Structure 1
Amino acid sequence: MASMASFSCSITHLKNRHDTHRLVNIQKPQYSSQTTSKQVHRVTVKAVETAELPVARRSANYAPSIYSFEYIQSLSTEYLGEDYKARANSLKDKVKMMLHEVESPLSALELVDNLQRLGISYHFDDEIRSLLEVVYDTYYKTQDKWNAMDLNLKALGFRLMRQHGFHVPQEIFDNFKDITENLKPESREDVLVILNLYEASYHLFDNESILDDALEFTTKYLKENLEKMDESISTLASHALELPLHWRLPRVEAQWFIDVYEKRSDNNPTLLELAKLDYNMLQAVHIEDLKHQSMWWENTKWVSKLSFIRDSLVPSFLWGLGFGYLPHYSTGRRALAKIVTLTTAIDDVYDIYATLDELEKFTDAIDRWDIHALEGLPDYMKICFLGYYNTINEIAYNTLADTNILNLTYLRKALADLCHAYLVEARWYYSGYKPTFQEYMKTASISVAGPLILAHLKFETSVHATSEVLERMTEFEAIDRYSSIVLRLTDDLGTSTDELARGDILKSIQCYMRDTGSNEEEARNHMKELILDAWKKINKERARADTQFSREYVEYASNMARTGQFMYREGDGHARPEINKSHLSTLLFNPIQLTK
């Protein structure tokens, strides 16, 4: 959380002068480790009383959005037409025939893998499930079948089976080191075995030492032999080493893999045409969603009224797209994009602009969820409170009307928890307190807004089973916690440098360095280890999903972790959307050229 102006909340003669507040760039005063909270209080009071100026407020100097309201509203697409739908349906019928006519387990698994990576497997959920059940029962269910399978079939099958909830133990790879001894990096087929084993190992659970060893071995092998590989396979290997397939956003992976697949000599023209066409048709749905969100955001007037906040509409919409990109998820995508956009602005209130006294009052107003609480807030906070109040109440109303679930209590609690976490960090800032790593993570895994997002996701699935949603609240606490940890740590890895430069509190990396005496590189590597550990736990929770609703929800929760890894892999892709501009352009604005 970024720092705020260090001025005491006890100066009553400044409390009601919000109409004259000025945005100024100031630096947080430096305090020694012995400085007490009371000493900070005296120093800041003196600063204000001497200056006799309105409350000085920080600015993060956020750049205007690179996507204007006018530009977004001007977007159009032809891919909602009936001719495209008819062609897509014809291609889907051909693919269904392929799924029914596969002749070997390896060809079946490779077809499923290609459909997933091309982003079109959702059209064939029932067919894929049936096909995997047959392959599982025939080849993976009992140990006596394993010895007759080659390592490539084991690895690809293991990954797909675990991904789809089938139980396959790690012991299937008991002798993987013996099998890999004679593999040659110059052979495309041999490297593909290593690559499939590498990708499979990322589906490991806690205490699966065989898969730990497989991950370590394959990572080292791929890194050491990249230059010896054929170009077509080295492209796949480099891509995997940057981020494993299991941690990648499906929509972004489809964008990349369509191009790679088209260059393959063995590509299937039907799959390729359907992938391109479907990509463009989905993009057309996303454009309509974005235009709807743009109109909503413009009507809130937050950008013009709250000049210190980030105009994060497009990156916030990308978060919604990351959680669920399929066409039936349009309502949930729009709702989540609203929540992320508003939360980004509220984060700026707590991080950058507000005084501690104002934050105490605002947090109390969120707790009370009462419009009468507006009376004690400054004008800019009235806008913030009412914006949240109206949006969350509207979302809760729509959920009630559609599903008969009254979820307002859950949404309010998640927002209140978030604001309380923000407030804890604000108090750390004002007192100059430096938390331990454990203290930081306890609060920061909430302040990253993961629990708030997931509270909304639970009610935005396509499966509206009232009793099941409510009955599984406790069951989902584990995956909520672990996906929020991944989000927090990836956020810190990508943003802490920028945020510390403007005077923020210490992040996970710096807290760990203080606790252990580690240098920054060691601390960053430790954060990456913790991310892997959290994913092991996410994988275990995924394996426990046993209904359509639970499988869909844990996929969304996993996608939150994946979206974080995408947004922050090269820096603060949320606050600085230019970092992901090429992805945004392809995902939202530029259709893929169809083969003529």
Structure 2
Amino acid sequence: MRERVDKLKEEVCTLFTPSKDMLRRMYLVDEIVHLGIDHLFEKEIETALKDIHESEFASSNLYEVALRFRLLRERGFWVSPDVFQKFKGDDGNFLNELADDPRGLLSLYNAAHLFIHGELELEETISFARNHLESMIRDSVVKGPLADQVKRALRLPLPRTLKRVEMLHYMFEYDQDNGHNPVLLELAKMDFNLLQQVHLKELKEISSAILDDTYDVYAFSSIDECRTLNAAIQGWDDTAISLVPEYLRKFYEIMLSTFREFEDQMPSNKRYLVAFNKAEAAEWPHRNYKPSFSEQVALATETTGVRSLAAGVMLGMSDAATTREAFEWAVTSTDAIISCAKIGRFMNDISGYKVTVDVAIAKINELMEDEWKTTNRARIDNQAVIPVTQRLINLTMAIPLFYGYDSDGFTFGEQLREILENLYVKPMPI
């Protein structure tokens, strides 16, 4: 199988031959990314996108203009939202005929979700496209694979969807397209199965324990045990295990073993930050202290553990990607890392507490949108370390998979279970 994969990769590389046909190259990059094989052609994709960014693009096709905007912004290239002005009338509103272009509207809707702070026109674009797409679905105007893509995007826009999960849908949709490239499709299926074998092996070798929510679960019923565990973590050595309750000792041992592997790479004043803040949160109800919303958000940013994960996601990356500059960016409290933590906290709270007040939910969603804007800006501001930036963004995109915008994947895990089975258990039929 690997020999066949290598042969297919060579064939695909020939498709990247320098060409003035920027549209063809855009379609190629988009198909490769959608099929989940972009990791095989990182250099080729980077070169193609640089050429696309530096070349003039005079298309008046909404789908094509929005596709270019999305592909470039996702990789950290700056593109002005003014490119969509050509689709507006003298009154500043989008042209009426766009309402009859579902493919173009979907492309526009996804592209606009790469907006940053201050781009009010893209916020209005999202509203315009969403209204028309929802109407098309409601009236059954779009059918087949395109309808499925619209439904998925309305639930979770493409720039916020894990590419590996989207690939599960797209691969079957691509197969139904009469114009699909059979070489790309075969390579995607074979690469998926090979990666699945690697992931299964890794999953079997990984022994992990999760501290998340330990304080939340026990703080109200067993504050003494909560304080004891925190004291042991503060000690951070094997001798402190005698302080830990019996049922938590295995966790404590694994935690020490895991974090010792990269502890030396973290600033010494950051090592106990998460444990300290979790203990602080657990103490609040026992002191009858009601923290402000801003205090809860600030503390939650620390206790999600995203700062440590930001460094952890670099493990296994190539030397070219893990430069000193990239590592320093990952372990610093950048806006992107804080936004990732906040999005996770907000989504967890909505799904966990089932807030029913519409105004409160709308406000939290508004806060999350602000953090997504910050995350999008991180791509542009940190293009020099885009491989690492993208890994952190992938971490952010994984949050809706577990917490969802309308369901809690942990509590109601049927959909999450199906996704995991498709990713790690069921091979792709070839």
**TM norm structure 1:** 0.66
Deviation by residue 1:372-391 (Cα, 9 ceiling, x = unmatched): 33344443444433331122
Counterpart pick for 1:212 among 110, 118, 123: 123
Per chain length, whose mean CA-contact separation is higher, i.e. which structure has more relative contact order (CA < 8 Å, sep 6+)?
1
User: What amino acid is the match of 2:186?
Assistant: E
Shift in alpha-carbon separation, 1:348–1:363, aligned structure 2, 3 A = closer
Q: In the alignment, is the contact (CA less than 8 A) between 2:74 and 2:114 conserved in 1?
A: yes
Q: CA deviation at 1:125?
A: 1.4
Indicate whether 1:373 and 2:240 are aligned: yes
Deviation by residue 1:151-200 (Cα, 9 ceiling, x = unmatched): 332211111111112121122222433395242655xxx22111111111
The CA distance in 2 between the partners of 1:574 and 1:92, in whole Å, is: 38
The equivalent of 1:228 in structure 2 is 141
The equivalent of 1:441 in structure 2 is 297
Q: In the alignment, is the contact (CA less than 8 A) between 2:322 and 2:388 conserved in 1?
A: no
The equivalent of 2:379 in structure 1 is 542
The CA distance in 2 between the partners of 1:150 and 1:135, in whole Å, is: 16
Shift in alpha-carbon separation, 1:573–1:526, aligned structure 2, 3 A = same
User: What amino acid is the match of 1:200?
Assistant: A
The equivalent of 1:554 in structure 2 is 389
Deviation by residue 1:469-519 (Cα, 9 ceiling, x = unmatched): 55435755211101111111122222224xxxxxxxxxxx5xxxxxxxxx6
Indicate whether 1:104 and 2:21 are aligned: yes
Q: Secondary structure at the match of 1:531?
A: helix
Shift in alpha-carbon separation, 1:281–1:375, aligned structure 2, 3 A = closer
Q: How many residues align?
A: 422
The CA distance in 1 between the partners of 2:131 and 2:412, in whole Å, is: 33
Matches within 5 A, 1:440-459: 440-458=296-314
The CA distance in 2 between the partners of 1:436 and 1:579, in whole Å, is: 35
Indicate whether 1:356 and 2:200 are aligned: no
Q: In the alignment, is the contact (CA less than 8 A) between 2:307 and 2:331 conserved in 1?
A: no
User: What amino acid is the match of 2:241?
Assistant: L
Deviation by residue 1:228-287 (Cα, 9 ceiling, x = unmatched): 224342222112111111000111111111011111222221111111111111111111
Indicate whether 1:136 and 2:136 are aligned: no
* Structure 1 residue runs without a partner (length 5+): 1-83, 140-144, 298-337, 398-405, 498-508, 510-518
Q: In the alignment, is the contact (CA less than 8 A) between 1:487 and 1:564 conserved in 2?
A: yes
Q: In the alignment, is the contact (CA less than 8 A) between 1:351 and 1:426 conserved in 2?
A: no
Indicate whether 1:284 and 2:151 are aligned: no
Q: Secondary structure at the match of 1:435?
A: coil
Q: Secondary structure at the match of 1:342?
A: coil
Deviation by residue 1:527-579 (Cα, 9 ceiling, x = unmatched): 222211101111111111233xx212211111111111111115332455444
Counterpart pick for 2:81 among 156, 170, 194: 170
The CA distance in 2 between the partners of 1:459 and 1:281, in whole Å, is: 20
The equivalent of 2:262 in structure 1 is 396
Q: In the alignment, is the contact (CA less than 8 A) between 1:248 and 1:562 conserved in 2?
A: yes
Q: Secondary structure at the match of 1:561?
A: helix
The equivalent of 2:370 in structure 1 is 533
The CA distance in 1 between the partners of 2:425 and 2:327, in whole Å, is: 38
The CA distance in 2 between the partners of 1:153 and 1:466, in whole Å, is: 35
Indicate whether 1:407 and 2:265 are aligned: yes
User: What amino acid is the match of 2:423?
Assistant: L
The CA distance in 2 between the partners of 1:477 and 1:438, in whole Å, is: 18
Q: In the alignment, is the contact (CA less than 8 A) between 2:75 and 2:383 conserved in 1?
A: no
Q: CA deviation at 1:122?
A: 1.6
User: What amino acid is the match of 2:223?
Assistant: L
Q: In the alignment, is the contact (CA less than 8 A) between 2:70 and 2:110 conserved in 1?
A: yes
The CA distance in 1 between the partners of 2:266 and 2:300, in whole Å, is: 24
The equivalent of 1:113 in structure 2 is 30
The equivalent of 2:338 in structure 1 is 481
**TM norm structure 2:** 0.89
Indicate whether 1:564 and 2:399 are aligned: yes
Larger Rg: 1
Q: In the alignment, is the contact (CA less than 8 A) between 1:112 and 1:128 conserved in 2?
A: yes
Q: CA deviation at 1:583?
A: 0.7
* Structure 2 residue runs without a partner (length 5+): none
Q: In the alignment, is the contact (CA less than 8 A) between 1:418 and 1:452 conserved in 2?
A: no
The CA distance in 2 between the partners of 1:184 and 1:474, in whole Å, is: 45
Q: In the alignment, is the contact (CA less than 8 A) between 1:185 and 1:225 conserved in 2?
A: no
Q: CA deviation at 1:93?
A: 1.6
Q: CA deviation at 1:108?
A: 1.6
Shift in alpha-carbon separation, 1:476–1:267, aligned structure 2, 3 A = farther
Indicate whether 1:588 and 2:424 are aligned: yes
Q: In the alignment, is the contact (CA less than 8 A) between 1:95 and 1:270 conserved in 2?
A: yes
The CA distance in 2 between the partners of 1:493 and 1:160, in whole Å, is: 31
Counterpart pick for 2:11 among 81, 85, 94: 94
Q: Percent identity?
A: 25
